[in-house]
Structure 1
Amino acid sequence: MGRTPCCESRQGLKKGPWTPEEDKLLVDYVQANAPGNWRMLPKLAGLNRCGKSCRLRWTNYLRPDIKRGPFTPEEHKSILQLHAIVGNKSVLLLLLLTHFVPLQYTCVSSHVY
């Protein structure tokens, strides 16, 4: 009962590191069509991956609005000020720092501790 597994139904799915070619296929498809249904996306984009893998790859690594690199002095100051207010509640801290993406959770957490 419940949901069907996202990936178990397709045998032979590629696992492991993404290749630059796969990244390009995913980026090109999402930019041209908007993601829509992530479960159907791999087939439509010509990828041999599961939809969840495609969604996570896009969300955490390939989105053009992801900020990369070290924290700026202003970001560092914001993190420390909010930490003084909310304490060690790093999830709440991240929610207040809306311009950070989920992948930066560990970075912010380790930055204040």
Structure 2
Amino acid sequence: MGLFTVALARQELDRLRPILAEIVVVRADLVELTAALAVGGEPTPLGGLPERKAAEARLNELMTEIQETGAELKGVAPLLVDFPAELDGVPVLLCWLEGETDLAWYHRVDLGFPGRRPLP
């Protein structure tokens, strides 16, 4: 996969929003099902082990869908998606974090998330 421009990354993020929203739901279901299956866990209307395995499989499918776009899924709780790009000839990752309304941050590839800055 090639590099994203800021405009293309924003377009791709908009296209991915339904997938990201589903990940949030499946992630929460998976946590609830796992807790219910733990020793002494409370039963849940979501089901049991078969539903937990199905949720895990669906989460993996959704994560793969994101990776296939060329974006990098760096975290699931919270969701963190990076889009490889270049700014002024420097390799960067355009960075979106769950809860943010827009793709407005980046960080140099070598600095990672702690080096995050607002897009110019």
Q: Name the TM-score, length of structure 1 as normaliser.
A: 0.24
Look at both structures and tell me which one has the larger radius of gyration over its CA atoms: 1
TM-score by length of 2: 0.23
